[in-house]
Amino acid sequence: MTLNGYCRFLTICTLIFPKTLCFLPKQQRVLLLSFDGFRWDYIYKFPTPSFHDIIKNGVHVEQITNVFITKTYPNHYTMVTGLYAESHGIIANEMYDPVLNETFSMNHMTIYNSKFWEDAYPVWITNQMQGHRSGAAMWPGTDVQIHGAFPTYYMHYNESVSFEDRVAKLIEWFISEESINLGLLYWEQPDEKGHLWGPNNPRMKAVIAEIDELLDYLVQELKKAKLWDTLNVIITSDHGMAQSSADRIIELDQYVDKDLYTMIDHSPDVAILPVEGQLDAVFSALVKAHPHMTVYKKEDIPYRLHYRHSSRIQPILAVADEGWEILQNRSDHFELGNHGYDNILPDMHPIFLAHGPAFRKNVSKQTMESTDLYPLLCYLLGIEPLPNNGSLEHVKDLLVSAAPKEPLDRHQEESYAYYSGIVLGSILVLGFLVMFVKHLTRSQVSAMWIQNTEIAQPLLQS
């Protein structure tokens, strides 16, 4: 076989088995996007063609079990650390740390107190410590100096900055000379409107339609920047949303003297700090006060919630049943939609879908834990994860590079074809290498023989 023949052979192998021949693939890049409060079933309740197009060409997990409490800050920090709230320390949107004697509140500048965030290392810091660059557009915590570091590029949180401007900035970072390999993008909706109207309100249809359009905008902009086919894009959320009602309110003033405690976090999970010496009195007054409110002492909070082992978790925790609200009295702020309930409840679960070169196509699975996202991110970025509560094994069946232990129901043929292709492609490549070496050896021997023959010939006589 001539050298041109070998080249044609290699070209055919590359066309038929492109993934098999990628011995040194480019480093994977990741864009992680969170639509705050996007409940898992919104894509079934309302028309969402952009979401469904990504599902058709990527992967989809139907039920994500997020962490308790099912609120914004705890879950966004879980996604980027792989830790339960009790371990990473951001246990609520409103917290009091008795060791620091300081308060954390998402409604005040106290969220920028680094001390609250430093029980963990978020993925953007780990990514940078291992030699890469990160960029963040409004992701909770990314404009806080954690362990002395910010993301390589980041935007200070400003709700008035449009989705389009956030996308433009991230694309700029991905294509710049000193480009990022990890981008994080956050959008406030549909959480805000879900609180205002409740998830069952017909007006939510327009809200979800607008988000679907924003997702399409992102896809089109990534395509224009020639990033869509090379970037792994993960679309998820922090929690879902439940419908509340003015007819389902529990007033603590009816059961216990308000001077005996301080309410730290608010409905539907109320963190209660009793006045010194009044713990048992407050607990006794509340423990059986209302059939739709469960009250725990800290040490009795169910283990499955992973919500005991932090000094920021208060001595008493009151949790409302889904759809119920716990207020001090009816003068407190009340919303028609809320979250924070038990993380076992489907209405608290977020969405998860992904598209990119690392992910399989048109593959769905039933469940995963939100803690599993962190080891998945680290795997895609090629960085070493820190100790965490997640497991890459739980999500490897979403990836092109790893076969599921049990074939997914609708895609057995795809899986078999893919791995058969790898085996056959490997055999062909090995055969090519053997023949190529033989060709080079023979060529060198022939050249040496010709050269030696020419030297041995007598000069032509004139």
- Residues 283 and 355 sit within 8 Å (Cβ to Cβ): no
User: Is 405 in a helix, a strand, or coil?
Assistant: coil
User: Is 325 in a helix, a strand, or coil?
Assistant: strand
Q: At what angle do helices 72-81 and 373-381 cross, to 10 degrees?
A: 40
- Selecting among 72, 142, 152, 371, the annotated active-site residue is 72
- Residues 438 and 432 sit within 8 Å (Cβ to Cβ): no
Q: What DSSP assignment string belongs to 135-180? A: EEES-TTTTS-BTTB--SEEE---TTS-HHHHHHHHHHHHHSTT--
- The DSSP 8-state label assigned to residue 116 in this structure reads G
List all residues 6 or more positions away from 70 whose beta carbon is below 8 Å from its beta carbon.
238, 239, 240, 339, 340, 341, 342, 343, 348
- Residues 357 and 57 sit within 8 Å (Cβ to Cβ): no
- Taking alpha carbons only, the member of 223, 413, 395, 130 closest to residue 404 is 395
Known catalytic membership, residue 2: no
Give the count of beta carbons closer than 10 Å to the beta carbon of residue 458.
Answer: 5
Give me the active site residues, please.
Answer: 72
